[in-house]
């Protein structure tokens, strides 16, 4: 097994650890007084963590010259989508009890739900176009442009979180700070005139 395949396996296993522990705790009635809220909150938090990790990869790659990191990006991004899907599912199931009319009503009336739903929907085209075939089909440039949506999704996720806390904004602020920093790094690298040319892995275009 090549090193990169092994690295992927490590990420794969570790990304499932929180889900396995969550299910284990649910099975053993060990998720606290409000399991519904715990499941929704935990999957939401995991979505934000994986979204943040996804947007961290390019800045880390460029900062440390670790170009092979880009090969891990798809998997990390798909885990963000996976946990986002679980977050949406647990909300529709445990909070709305599969009453889809009330989901629509909630989206229309509650701005934080609308923002969260939008952030999730933005991930859908990214997940669909995540295969090598789709990269070829779209062409690297257009693909890269489309996948900048991940920033909109990450920012939306942070705002969604921010809007629902009552007064202690420290955790959403931390996410906002990190995502902001990573986005600033991308913008800086792109527009700073004195930056040296980056080596290109060949898999994806420079951006």
Residues that bind other proteins (CB under 8 A): 1, 6, 9-10, 13-14, 17-18, 21, 25, 30, 32-34, 36-38, 42, 97, 106, 109-112, 163-164, 166-168
Comparison of 101 and 168: residue with beta carbon closer to other proteins: 168
The CA distances from residue 82 to 63, 65, 158, 184, in Å, are: 28, 29, 17, 26
In the numeric block, which tokens belong to residue 80?
A: 């963000």
Comparison of 38 and 151: residue with beta carbon closer to other proteins: 38
> Least Å distance between CB 53 and other proteins?
13
Cα separation, 128 vs 120, whole angstroms: 13
Burial of 108 (0-12, 13-18, 19+ CB in 10 A): exposed
> Least Å distance between CB 30 and other proteins?
7
The answer to whether 74 and 150 have CB atoms below 8 angstroms apart is no
> Least Å distance between CB 80 and other proteins?
16
Comparison of 97 and 192: residue with beta carbon closer to other proteins: 97
Comparison of 113 and 135: residue with beta carbon closer to other proteins: 113
Question: Torsions phi, psi of 167, nearest 5?
Answer: -150, -25
> Least Å distance between CB 189 and other proteins?
29
In the numeric block, which tokens belong to residue 109?
A: 């009336």
> Least Å distance between CB 104 and other proteins?
13
Q: Please name which of 9, 42, 50 lies closest in space to residue 24, comparing C-alpha atoms.
A: 42
Cα separation, 123 vs 82, whole angstroms: 10
Comparison of 30 and 198: residue with beta carbon closer to other proteins: 30
């Amino acid at each position: 097994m090549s090193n990169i395949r092994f690295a992927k396996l490590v990420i794969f296993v570790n990304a499932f650890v929180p889900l396995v522990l969550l299910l284990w705790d649910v099975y053993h009635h060990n998720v606290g007084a409000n399991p519904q809220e715990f499941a929704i909150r935990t999957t939401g938090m995991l979505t934000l963590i994986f979204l943040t990790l996804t947007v961290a990869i390019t800045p880390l790659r460029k900062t440390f010259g670790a170009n092979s990191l880009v090969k891990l990006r798809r998997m990390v991004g798909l885990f963000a989508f996976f946990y986002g899907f679980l977050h949406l599912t647990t909300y529709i199931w445990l909070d709305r009890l599969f009453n889809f009319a009330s989901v629509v009503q909630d989206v229309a009336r509650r701005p934080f739900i609308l923002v969260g739903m939008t952030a999730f929907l933005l991930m859908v085209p990214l997940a669909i176009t995540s295969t090598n075939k789709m990269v070829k089909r779209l062409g690297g440039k257009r693909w890269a442009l489309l996948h900048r949506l991940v920033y909109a999704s990450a920012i939306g996720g942070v705002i969604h979180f921010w809007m629902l806390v009552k007064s202690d904004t420290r955790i959403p602020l931390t996410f906002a700070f990190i995502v902001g920093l990573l986005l600033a790094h991308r913008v800086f690298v792109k527009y700073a005139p004195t930056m040296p040319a980056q080596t290109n892995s060949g898999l994806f275009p420079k951006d």
